[in-house]
Amino acid sequence: MFEKTNSNHTSSEGLNLTSTIKTLVDEYPTDDKTKTQDLIANIIDREAEEKKIVKQLDCRMLPLFCIFYFVDFLDRANIGNATLAGIKDDLHLTSGQLSMAISGFYITYIIFEVPSNIVLKRINAVMWLSLIMLVWGIMTIVIAFVTDFTGLMVCRLLLGAAESGYVPGILYMMSKVYRPREFGLRLAFLLCMSSLSGIVSGPIAYGTSFLEGHGGLHGWQYLFIIEGVPTVILSIVSYYYLFDDVQSVPWLTSTQKALHKHYTNGSDTEVPVTVKSFIKACYDWKTCLFSIVYFLNATSLVSYQVFTPTIIDGFGFPVLTSQLLSAPPNVMQTIMTLLGGYLTDRYSNKRGRLMGAGFAIAAVGYLLLIVLESRWGRYGSLFVIASGLGLQAPANVGWSAINFPKLEIRVIAVAVVVMIGNSGGIVSSYLYPLSDGPHFYFGNIFNLCCAAIGAVVSVITSYLLWRQNCKLDRDYQEFGNEQEQVQFRYFY
C-alpha cells in the first residue's frame, strides 16, 4: 500500500516520521522480515514480478467487486424508475411519503456503516460482505410485494442497513492490496458500475413496463424482482470466490506473496480496533475534510442517479421515452469516470485540482439546466453534469483510503468518511419533489451550490495536504539521512 523511499523520493506518504518508523519496527518481527527479504532477494526482475501480481489481483478481485458494486447501485436507485412506473399511485403514497421512503435507505445506511466496518475488521470479511449482499438482495425482492407505505419504508430501512458496509468494505479491502498509484484507475472501473447501472436501469424499467398486469403484478414489481434475484445468486459467488488476505490465496507463489507484503508494507500482526483508534480516526482533520467533499459529491451524485428520469420527465417527454433517455448521460459519466481514474493515477498529486475541475464542470451543467428553456438544451446539460461528476469521483471516493497508513485507523476513517458523505443521500432525497416540476429550480440550485463549494473545498484540502508533506520533509531532514528510512507521505 505504502512505499519505501529514500529521502529524496517524492511518491510515498506520511505521518510523523519517528513514530511511524517505530510502529513499523514493532509490527514486523525480525524473523518475518528476514524471511520476506530472503524470498525476494533472488528475484531477477522485481518490476515484472510486481506487474504479474497486480495482474493476478485484477483478474481475481476487481471483476467481482465491479459486478457486486453494479448490483449495489442498481438495487438502491431503482426506486427512481419505480416512481415513474407507478409505485406512488399503486401504493397510494403522498409526495412526502415517497421522499421519506427514498431517504429511509440512507438513514440506516449511514448509521450502520462504521459498525459494519468494525465487524468486517474483527471477523471474516468475505463471510460478512457475502451475508449483507444476501440480505439486501432479499430485501429488494420483498419490496416488489409491499402493499403500503409502512411496508415500503421498512424494506428501504433494512436495505440501507444491509448495503451500509459494502462500499467502505470494498474500499478498505482494495486499499490493502493496491498501492496508491494503482488505486485510482481501478477505483474508476468500480465507480463506473454505478453509472452503468444507470445506463441499464432505464431500459430494464422500460422492458418491465410491458409486463404490466401479467400474473397480477405491476411493471415496477417485476423491476424489483428482476434486479433482486441476481443479487442473491451473486452473494453465493462472493462467498466462494472472494478472499480475505493475499497471503492465504493459492494462486500466488510464496515469493510473490512476500514481494506483495514488501511493496505494500503489509504486516503479519493484526492490530485490533480500539476506542482509542476510533477516537483518533474521528478527530483527524483529514477525516473531516474528506467527509465534506464526499458529502458534496454524494448529494449531487445521488440527485443525479435517482432523479434523472424525473428531471427528464419534466422536459415534456413521454414516460417511456424519459426512461430510455436517462441512459445516454450515464454513458458520458462512465467515460469521464474512467478518464478521472486514469488522470488520478497518472498525476498522483493532482487530486485536489482534478476534483476542483470536475466539481466546476458539474456546476456549469446545473447552471445550464436552470437557465436554458429548450427541451433538448436542458437535456444536453445533463451530459455536462454527468461529465463533471464522473471526472472527480475516483479521486474523491478513494482519497481517504490512501491517506491513513495504519490499518486500524484507516478502517474507521474510511467508514466515517463514507458515513458522513452518504448523508448527502438523505438531503438529495428531498431536493426534487414532484410538486416542484417541471423545472425543479430548488434542487438544481442546491446542487449548483454543492458543486461550487466542492470545487473550493477540494483545492483547500489538497493545499493542506501539500503543506503537511512540506512539514514532513523538514522533519525528515532533522531526523537524519544516515540510512534509508521509511517515510509516509500524503497524496494530495
282 part of a folded domain: yes
Q: When comparing pLDDT for 284 and 473, which is higher?
A: 284
d(CA 42, CA 52): 16
Q: What is the mean pLDDT of the chain?
A: 82
Q: Tally the domains of the chain.
A: 1
The closest alpha carbon to 174, from 333, 453, 401, belongs to 401
Mean pLDDT of 320-344: 86
Helix (H, G, I), strand (E, B) or coil at 13: strand
DSSP state of 312: H
| The total number of residues written for the chain in this structure | 492
- The residues facing 488 across adjacent strands are 13
pLDDT at 268 over 70: no
464 part of a folded domain: yes
Angle at Cα 129 formed by Cα 128 and Cα 134, nearest 5°? Answer: 100
39 part of a folded domain: yes
**Which of 25-29, 36-40, 439-443, 451-455 is most confident?**
451-455
Cell representation of residue 429: 432525497
Q: 480 — alpha (psi -120 to 50), left (phi > 0) or beta?
A: left
Contact between 415 and 113 under an 8 Å Cβ cutoff? The reply is yes
Q: State pTM to two decimals.
A: 0.76
Mean pLDDT of 250-277: 75
Mean pLDDT of 477-485: 51
Residue-level pLDDT at 452: 96
d(CA 344, CA 234): 30
Name the pLDDT band for 120 (thresholds 50, 70, 90): confident
188 part of a folded domain: yes
d(CA 491, CA 181): 10
The closest alpha carbon to 108, from 53, 164, 148, belongs to 164
d(CA 223, CA 204): 7
CATH number of the domain where residue 469 is located: 1.20.1250.20
Cell representation of residue 412: 474507521
d(CA 281, CA 291): 12
The closest alpha carbon to 464, from 337, 340, 293, 341, belongs to 293
266 part of a folded domain: yes
492 part of a folded domain: no
Residue-level pLDDT at 479: 61
Contact between 189 and 98 under an 8 Å Cβ cutoff? The reply is no
Helix (H, G, I), strand (E, B) or coil at 475: helix
d(CA 393, CA 125): 25
Residue-level pLDDT at 34: 63
Name the pLDDT band for 35 (thresholds 50, 70, 90): low
Which pLDDT tens digit goes with each residue over 177-231?
A: 888 888 888 889 888 887 787 778 778 887 888 888 788 888 888 888 988 999 9
Contact between 224 and 144 under an 8 Å Cβ cutoff? The reply is yes
DSSP state of 437: T
User: What's the helix, strand, coil split of the chain in %, to 5?
Assistant: 80, 0, 20
2 part of a folded domain: no
Share of residues in the chain with pLDDT > 90 (%): 25
- Rg, C-alpha atoms of the chain: 23
Q: Name, in order, each residue with C-beta under 8 angstroms of 283's C-beta and a sequence gap of 6 or more.
A: none
Look at the block and give the residue holding cell 444536453: 380
pLDDT at 32 over 70: no
Which pLDDT tens digit goes with each residue over 403-439?
A: 887 777 887 888 888 888 878 877 887 898 888 888 8
Look at the block and give the residue holding cell 503489509: 266
Angle at Cα 430 formed by Cα 428 and Cα 436, nearest 5°? Answer: 115
Residue-level pLDDT at 134: 93
Residues 290-311, buried b or exposed e (16+ Cβ, 10 A)? bbbbbbbbbbbbbbbbbbbbbb
Helix (H, G, I), strand (E, B) or coil at 92: coil
Q: Which of 5-9, 282-286, 308-312, 346-350 has the lowest mean pLDDT?
A: 5-9
User: Sign of dihedral through CA atoms 385, 386, 392, 396?
Assistant: positive
User: Sign of dihedral through CA atoms 155, 161, 164, 169?
Assistant: negative
The closest alpha carbon to 332, from 397, 368, 379, 395, belongs to 379
Mean pLDDT of 32-39: 64
Q: Name, in order, each residue with C-beta under 8 angstroms of 333's C-beta and a sequence gap of 6 or more.
A: 195, 198, 386, 387, 389, 390
The closest alpha carbon to 220, from 233, 231, 241, 205, belongs to 205
Residue-level pLDDT at 157: 93
d(CA 225, CA 392): 33
Q: 14 — alpha (psi -120 to 50), left (phi > 0) or beta?
A: beta
d(CA 452, CA 462): 16
Structural domain for 433, as ranges: 17-479
Angle at Cα 459 formed by Cα 469 and Cα 416, nearest 5°? Answer: 80
Q: Name, in order, each residue with C-beta under 8 angstroms of 188's C-beta and a sequence gap of 6 or more.
A: 337, 338, 340, 341, 342, 344, 393, 394
491 part of a folded domain: no
Which pLDDT tens digit goes with each residue over 330-339?
A: 889 889 999 9
Contact between 166 and 68 under an 8 Å Cβ cutoff? The reply is yes
Name the pLDDT band for 29 (thresholds 50, 70, 90): very low
Contact between 274 and 13 under an 8 Å Cβ cutoff? The reply is no
pLDDT at 386 over 90: yes
Which pLDDT tens digit goes with each residue over 433-478?
A: 888 888 899 999 999 999 999 999 999 999 999 998 888 877 777 6
Residue-level pLDDT at 262: 78
Mean pLDDT of 100-127: 84
Helix (H, G, I), strand (E, B) or coil at 162: helix
DSSP state of 124: -
Helix (H, G, I), strand (E, B) or coil at 89: helix
